[in-house]
């Protein structure tokens, strides 16, 4: 019965973090992408959680059931402090971290700032840099803080984002078809105003410290394993591989044929097999 998923929550730095656990053994912390939730890892967890491996997968701050971080002043590294304390309290002080999509970028930040807490990194369909090198942060989150504009955006954005989010999810599942059941379940959740703000804030944070994070990637000395789909339509797999080879020379890369960006959703068995071997 050790594989059964149990959900709980913990408060760290006045931020309530919702998470699930399955298994009893050595910890593996799993960080979802953008948009995403801890449920992205349910299929993988069902296959690898055991008496020897404990999967811990959380809703990142601001996403789904976890509260957003309230900043006294802009600090694009503050979330790593929350993860560090989470690792101390729930992952024996040191753990493997698996990041999916933008979760890989977050995992890299944790390994850069708190190397003593990271046994190794598993980057699944990593999103470590945008394909558009000139992409700029969005002004919408700042505009949404105004009373009038915030109310207007709160009403309009969930409606206006429907088609764009649907197109994005189709790219996530490519080369497979986007399941209707998945769309019906997650489209309303991913187009909530709060979720859209969390997504934009995540992307803005990434863009504002992108060069700083890239410069420090070479300082990561722990083992790094990369699982990437050759037909990724969300971000260029070759761009990600080029950056990884340049900055993370110790990384071992596994490329999956007939696979795209949504690996935990579409290729859970293959990912689980690779992760099990890495941890072993």
> Which tokens sit at 230?
């050759």
- Over residues 9-25, the mean pLDDT reads 95
pLDDT higher than threshold 80 for residue 4 = no
Instruction: State the Cα–Cα distance between residues 217 and 108, nearest whole angstrom.
Output: 7
pLDDT digits (tens, 9 = 90+) for 81-130: 999 999 999 999 999 999 999 999 999 999 999 999 999 999 999 999 99
Percent of the chain at pLDDT above 70? 99
Residues 6+ apart with CB under 8 A from 240: 126, 127, 128, 129, 226, 228, 232
Q: What is the DSSP letter of 234?
A: S
Helices (DSSP H) in the chain: which residue ranges? Answer: 42-48, 78-90, 102-113, 140-143, 147-160, 162-173, 180-190, 193-208, 210-217, 237-247, 263-266, 268-279
Q: State the pLDDT at residue 74.
A: 79
pLDDT higher than threshold 50 for residue 2 = no
Please name each of the domains of the chain with its CATH number: 6-130+209-279 (3.40.50.1820)
Q: State the pLDDT at residue 280.
A: 84
Q: State the pLDDT at residue 144.
A: 92
> Which tokens sit at 130?
């945008």
Q: State the pLDDT at residue 73.
A: 76
pLDDT higher than threshold 80 for residue 230 = yes
Q: State the pLDDT at residue 227.
A: 98
pLDDT higher than threshold 50 for residue 268 = yes
pLDDT higher than threshold 60 for residue 172 = yes
Number of H helices, E strands in the chain: 12, 8
Q: Which residues pair with 28 in a beta bridge?
A: 55, 96
Answer for the pair 25, 54: CB distance below 8 angstroms, yes or no.
Answer: yes
Cβ neighbours, 10 Å, residue 227: 25
- Over residues 184-213, the mean pLDDT reads 96
pLDDT digits (tens, 9 = 90+) for 135-155: 999 999 999 989 999 999 999
pLDDT digits (tens, 9 = 90+) for 20-72: 999 998 999 999 999 999 999 999 999 999 999 999 999 999 999 999 998 87
Residues 6+ apart with CB under 8 A from 73: none
Instruction: State the Cα–Cα distance between residues 57 and 44, nearest whole angstrom.
Output: 11
Q: State the pLDDT at residue 3.
A: 64
Q: State the pLDDT at residue 1.
A: 39
């Amino acid at each position: 019965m050790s594989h059964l998923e149990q959900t709980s929550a913990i408060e760290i730095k006045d931020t309530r973090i919702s998470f699930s656990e399955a298994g009893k053994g050595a910890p593996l912390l799993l960080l979802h992408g953008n948009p995403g939730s801890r449920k992205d890892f349910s299929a993988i967890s069902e296959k690898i959680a055991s008496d020897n491996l404990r999967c811990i997968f959380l809703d990142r701050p601001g996403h789904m059931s976890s509260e957003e971080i309230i900043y006294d002043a802009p600090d694009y590294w503050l979330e790593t402090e929350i993860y560090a304390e989470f690792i101390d309290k729930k992952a024996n002080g040191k753990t493997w971290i698996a990041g999916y999509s933008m979760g890989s970028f977050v995992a890299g930040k944790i390994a850069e700032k708190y190397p003593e807490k990271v046994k190794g990194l598993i980057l699944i369909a990593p999103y470590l840099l945008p394909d558009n090198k000139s992409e700029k942060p969005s002004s919408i989150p700042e505009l949404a803080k105004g009373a009038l504009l915030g109310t207007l955006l709160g009403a309009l954005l969930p409606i206006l984002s429907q088609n764009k989010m649907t197109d994005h999810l189709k790219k996530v599942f490519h080369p497979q078809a986007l399941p209707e059941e998945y769309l019906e379940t997650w489209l309303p959740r991913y187009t909530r105003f709060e979720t859209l703000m969390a997504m934009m804030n995540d992307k803005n944070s990434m863009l504002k410290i992108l060069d700083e994070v890239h410069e420090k990637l070479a300082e990561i000395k722990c083992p790094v394993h990369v699982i990437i789909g050759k037909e990724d339509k969300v971000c260029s797999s070759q761009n990600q591989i080029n950056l990884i080879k340049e900055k993370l020379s110790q990384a071992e890369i596994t490329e999956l044929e007939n696979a795209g960006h949504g690996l935990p959703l579409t290729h859970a068995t293959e990912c689980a097999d690779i992760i099990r071997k890495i941890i072993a």
